[in-house]
C-alpha cells in the first residue's frame, strides 16, 4: 500500500471526513486497502419502499447521538439508469441528522447488482469501524426475495413495515421475516397499524418454530417509540446460528460481482442470443 493511502487512512481515523469519503470511493472502485480487522456494530434495515425507513433511521440517529454514539449510514439507493450512480433519495430524507459531526451518511448505488447489495460493503464497514464509528447502519433499497442478502453484512436485522399487512405477507414469502431480529411497524399514528402489529405477532404464535421476535410500533414523524426501539436494539444478541448463511451470502455476492464484471460477459451474451453457443458453453467460457 502506498504512502498516500496510509496517510489517508490515518487522517480518516483522526476524523477527516473528506479522506474517509475518498477512501470509501476507492473501495467502491475496486481498491484493496490494508486495514486492520475490526469488530464493528452493524444493523441492517430492510423493508418495502414507502414505509418510512429513512425517516425512521433519521429519528434513531438523533436518539443515538443523544446517547453519545457516532453513527455511520450506508444507504443503498437504486441506480440511475443514465449514470449508474445512486439517486440519493435516502440521503435527502436524512439531511437533518447528517448535519451533525457525529453522523456520516454515504449513498451507494446498487449498480443493478443481484440482491441490491455489493460485495465491497464488507471492507467499507471494516473501514468505518476502524475509524471509530460506533453504530453502523446499512439501509437496503427494499423489496424482493434477494433482501435476505442483508444477513451477509449485518449481524442484526430490523424489518420495517407500515400499517399495510400485504407487504409483510410478501416478506414472509421471501423469508425476510424469519431472518429479522425484530419487526417495526412504522407510522403507528395511521389507521390499521395496531392490527398489522397484532397480525404479525399472531403469525409468530402459529409458527412451528420457537420464535420470540419483537414486534414494535413507532412513528418516526412524531418521535413515538424511538427510545424504546433503541433500547431493544441495544439489547439484541448476535445470532451465531446465522454464520453459515452469512458466509454463504457473502460468497454468492462476491460470485455475482465477478460474473457481472467479467470483461467477456457482453460478448458471451451476444453469442448466446445469436445461438452460436449454448448455456453450458457460456459457463465454460466464463
On whether both 15 and 131 belong to a single domain, the answer is: no
pLDDT (0 to 100) of residue 1 = 54
Do 13 and 43 lie in one domain? The reply is: no
Q: Among 4-8, 102-106, 141-145, which is the least confidently predicted range? A: 141-145
Q: Are residues 59 and 11 in the same domain?
A: no
- What pLDDT was estimated at residue 89? 47
Same domain, 166 and 225: yes
Q: Which of 3-17, 223-237, 245-259, 265-279 has the lowest mean pLDDT?
A: 245-259
The domain in which residue 196 lies consists of 35-241
**Nearest-CA neighbor of 97 among 58, 60, 129, 63?**
58
Rounded-to-integer distance, Cα 124 and Cα 121, Å = 5
Domain co-membership, 135 together with 94: yes
Same domain, 23 and 165: no
Whether 228 shows a pLDDT value over 80: the answer reads yes
User: What is the SS3 assignment for 112-164?
Assistant: CCCCCCCCCHHHHHHHHHHCCCCEEEEECCCCCHHHHHHHHCCCEEEEEECCC
Domains in the chain: how many in total?
Answer: 2
Averaged over 175-191, what is the pLDDT? 84
Answer yes or no: do 3 and 91 share one domain. Answer: no
pLDDT over 90 for what percent of the chain? 38
∠ Cα 188 164 95 (to 5°): 55
Q: What is the DSSP letter of 37?
A: -
Query: Residue 170: is its pLDDT beyond 60?
Result: no
Better-scored residue on pLDDT, 109 or 142: 109
3 state DSSP class of 212:
coil
Statement to judge: residues 9 and 143 lie in one domain: no
pLDDT at 113: 60
**Same domain membership, residue 127 and residue 217:** yes
Q: What is the pLDDT of residue 167?
A: 53
Domain assignment present for residue 164? The answer is: yes
Residue 173 in this model has a pLDDT that exceeds 70:
no
* pLDDT given at position 79: 46
Question: Are 131 and 15 in the same domain?
Answer: no
pLDDT average, residue stretch 42-69: 92
Pairing label, strands 182-185, 214-217: parallel
Per-residue pLDDT of 198-226, as tens digits, reads: 888 877 766 555 556 789 999 998 999 99
Let me know if residue 270 belongs to a domain: no
Q: At which of 241, 259, 277 does a domain end?
A: 241
48-86 burial string, b = 16+ CB within 10 Å, else e? beebbbbbbbbbbbbbbbeeebbbbbbbbbbbeeeeeeb
Average pLDDT, the chain: 81
Question: Is the distance from CB of 21 to CB of 106 less than 8 angstroms?
Answer: yes
Amino acid at each position: 500500500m502506498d504512502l498516500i493511502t496510509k496517510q489517508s487512512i490515518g487522517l480518516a481515523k483522526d476524523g477527516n471526513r473528506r479522506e474517509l469519503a475518498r477512501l470509501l470511493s476507492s473501495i467502491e472502485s475496486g481498491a484493496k486497502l490494508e486495514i486492520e480487522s475490526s469488530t464493528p456494530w452493524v444493523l441492517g434495515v430492510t423493508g418495502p419502499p414507502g414505509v418510512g425507513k429513512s425517516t425512521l433511521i433519521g429519528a434513531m440517529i438523533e436518539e443515538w447521538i443523544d446517547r453519545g454514539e457516532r453513527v455511520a449510514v450506508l444507504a443503498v439507493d437504486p441506480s440511475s439508469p443514465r449514470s449508474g450512480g445512486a439517486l440519493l433519495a435516502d440521503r435527502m430524507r436524512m439531511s437533518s441528522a447528517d448535519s451533525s459531526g457525529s453522523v456520516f451518511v454515504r449513498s451507494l448505488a446498487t449498480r443493478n447488482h443481484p440482491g441490491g447489495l455489493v460485495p465491497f460493503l464488507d471492507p467499507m464497514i471494516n473501514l468505518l469501524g476502524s475509524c471509530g464509528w460506533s453504530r453502523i447502519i446499512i439501509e437496503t433499497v427494499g423489496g424482493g426475495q434477494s433482501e435476505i442478502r442483508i444477513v451477509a453484512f449485518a449481524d442484526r436485522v430490523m424489518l420495517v413495515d407500515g400499517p399495510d399487512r400485504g407487504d409483510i405477507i410478501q416478506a414472509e414469502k421471501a423469508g425476510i421475516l424469519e431472518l429479522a431480529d425484530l419487526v417495526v411497524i412504522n407510522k403507528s399514528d395511521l389507521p390499521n397499524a395496531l392490527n398489522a402489529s397484532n397480525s404479525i405477532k399472531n403469525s409468530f404464535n402459529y409458527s412451528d418454530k420457537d420464535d420470540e421476535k419483537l414486534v414494535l410500533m413507532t412513528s418516526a414523524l412524531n418521535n413515538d417509540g424511538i427510545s424504546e426501539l433503541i433500547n431493544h436494539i441495544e439489547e439484541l444478541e448476535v445470532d451465531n446460528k446465522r454464520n453459515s448463511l452469512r458466509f454463504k451470502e457473502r460468497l454468492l455476492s462476491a460470485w455475482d460481482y465477478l460474473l457481472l464484471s467479467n470483461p467477456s460477459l457482453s460478448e458471451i451474451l451476444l453469442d448466446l442470443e445469436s445461438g452460436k453457443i449454448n448455456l453450458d458453453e457460456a459457463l465454460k467460457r466464463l
